[in-house]
Amino acid sequence: MDLKSNEPFWLVKNGLLASYPSLHENISCDVLIVGGGITGSLIAYQCIRDGYNTVLIDKREVCNGSSSATTSMLQYEIDVPLYELIEKIGEKGALASYDACCKAVEDLGKIAHRIKSASGFQLKQSLYYAASKKDAEWLQKEFEARSNAGYDVRWLEPDTVLSKYGIHHNYGAILSAAGGSVDAYKLAHELLLHSYKKGLRVFDKTTLESVQYKKGFNLGTVTGGAVIKAKNIVYCTGYETAGMIKEKFVKLLSSFAIVSEIDKDLYRQYKDILIWNTSKPYLYMRATDDGRFLIGGEDEDFKDPVKRDAMLKEKEQKLLKSFAKIFPDKQFYSDFAWAGTFGETKDGLPYIGEHPDFKRSYFVGGFGGNGITFSVTGMEMVSHWLKGKKHLLSEYFRFGR
């Protein structure tokens, strides 16, 4: 599956940061990680820290799938509002999920600091505003749910949102303290290199063709016939996981994004905040660490890469019109436009855990608008499971729920 189109900004900005060999000989390990994006790099980082003999493979160049097309907004907010998630899965699970995303933003910052990352990780506030009058009522209900749960949130009236953030056509907003941004493509490369220096073995252009389940271990055969003997497999295959599992559990969508030319004024005003709204599909905005402004949205059902790519010009123009409506007194000079594939689930939660069709294996599928933070949580969950420990979120993120 082609997970991205045109030239994603992060890939152009950073270039090819590293390349690894393909696998041509039989090897063995404790943990085999399939997928070398931000999720796989986080899982590999944790496995190496925990002392496991770890191998990571990717069928592309590492980090060249969805991680090169992500907008890298780090949100504790899940696509399903807290009050609605409480109704769906109960207060315990809903709060645990939101708490985990809050913790994940902080944990990712600690990891970035620990490896001396140059990926531009930054903590930011998050502004979630009502895009229509009918949305204001339920957004205030969401504010009350978050406030009652103890989250650091404030309700802003429409005139405050306009005067402070220059957002027209708003009907009030939730301002949250928890949020952040990062260049996930660069961070993933840094994590892989850091772990590689500590013993991680990385092979790209290496496709896992088949797996045989033996007593106490798995045998994975890759492109060219080499075999990897692994005690456990962790699949970090992102949205391509949907093609591996027989039941339908995630809906694939294409999201479109544009990035401006360097604009010091836009950067100065919005460098410390993430912005998104209640439109369906919602718009999301942030500044990049090199002084640009990003706006994304205009989601469509994913059909195939050709049809998605044919919509790119049209979607770019629609995003420019949305920007002009929201910020009528500002200019946006588009410099990059691209599309990426992502997935949504009915409850907004990821699928992280075991599947009965895959023995001694775990999946880490961080779907939705906060896939990176879900991946950080997945890193913690896999670490627990490999040590024989239970994790609170296993029940809520499991397959078949």
| Assigned domain for 208 exists | yes
Q: What is the pLDDT of residues 117-145, one digit of tens each?
A: 999 999 999 999 999 999 999 999 999 99
Say if residue 290 is in the same domain as residue 320.
yes
Q: Is 201 left (phi over 0), alpha (psi -120 to 50) or beta?
A: beta
Q: How far is CA 67 from CA 9, 62, 215, 358, in A?
A: 11, 9, 35, 25
Residue 80 falls inside a structural domain: no
Residues 392 and 353 in one domain: yes
159 lies in the same domain as 272:
yes
Residue 61 falls within a domain, yes or no? yes
Q: Which residue has the higher pLDDT, 289 or 167?
A: 167
Q: Which domain holds residue 145?
A: 122-178+249-344
The model's pLDDT over 360-372, given as tens digits with 9 standing for 90+, comes to: 999 999 887 788 9
Residue 254 and residue 321 in one domain: yes
pLDDT band at 226 (very low <50, low <70, confident <90, very high): very high
pLDDT at 6: 62
Percent of the chain at pLDDT > 70 equals 98
What's the start-to-end Cα distance of the chain, in Å?
Answer: 26
Q: Kindly state the tokens that stand for 256.
A: 């479109």
Number of domains, the chain? 2
Q: Is residue 324 part of a domain?
A: yes
pLDDT of res. 367: 84
Total-model pTM:
0.93
Do the domain assignments include residue 315? yes
Q: How far is CA 380 from the centre of its chain?
A: 16
pLDDT at 303: 67
Considering the domain architecture, whether residues 335 and 279 belong to the same structural domain is answered as yes
Does residue 3 surpass a pLDDT of 70?
no
Q: Domain for residue 110, yes or no?
A: no
> Quick one: average pLDDT of 187-216?
97
One domain for residues 164 and 260: yes
Q: What is the CATH number of the domain that holds 371?
A: 3.50.50.60
The phi, psi pair for 305, rounded to 5°, reads -60, -35
Let me know whether 269 and 387 are in one domain.
no
